[in-house]
Structure 1
Amino acid sequence: MKELYMVIYYVIVNIIGLLIMREDKKRAQQHAWRISEKTLFLIALLGGALGETIGMYTYRHKTKHPSFTVGFPLFMLLHIAFIYIILK
């Protein structure tokens, strides 16, 4: 049962990650108030790194920032390890 809850959680948080990257790109194009990098990294840390990485490359947003192109995949690896330990 806990596996189902984890799948639901990760699906939701990654959809949020994808949508927040889209929103930040849209705001950047409109020169509007932006979503802080701290918020983007918090979502990645909470499990949304895959969604944000997909959003980063889909919307071509933050792709020139090594902190994102390296940081998000590192968060993904940490979450894979976390899931492995929890489900073991």
Structure 2
Amino acid sequence: MEFIIFYLLIINAISFSMMGLDKHYAIKDMRRIPERHLFLIGYIGGAIGLLLGLKKFRHKKLKKKFSYGLPLLSIINISAVAVLLTIFYR
């Protein structure tokens, strides 16, 4: 159980940082982090970090695939963790 919690904390910290970094790159007119990379990290458990980054940095909030997709992906992540915890830690 500790491994799952540690993994989720790290992956969400990374995804939150990626949103902040992409916002910084956008302001400085630098090369950006591709959206598919942001969604990939969301698929592997970092959706909540991306969602928090979207709110904190006000970044990509007008894009429908982020404003609708990240909450949905967060629900899927939470459901997957709940299923894993019930399977492995009964």
On whether the aligned pair clears a TM of 0.5, the verdict is yes
**TM-score bracket for the superposition, by shorter chain length:** over 0.9
What is the 5 A alignment of 1:62-73? 62-73=60-71
Give the counterpart letter for 1:36 in structure 2: P
The answer for unaligned runs of 5 or more in structure 2 is: none
Query: Aligned match of 1:45 in 37, 43, 46?
Result: 43
What is the 5 A alignment of 1:28-43? 28-43=26-41
Report the TM-score when normalising by structure 2.
Answer: 0.91
What is the 5 A alignment of 1:1-88? 3-88=1-86
The answer for unaligned runs of 5 or more in structure 1 is: none
Large movers: runs of 4+ above 4 Å: none
Report the TM-score when normalising by structure 1.
Answer: 0.93
Distance across 2 between alignment mates of 1:55 and 1:76: 13
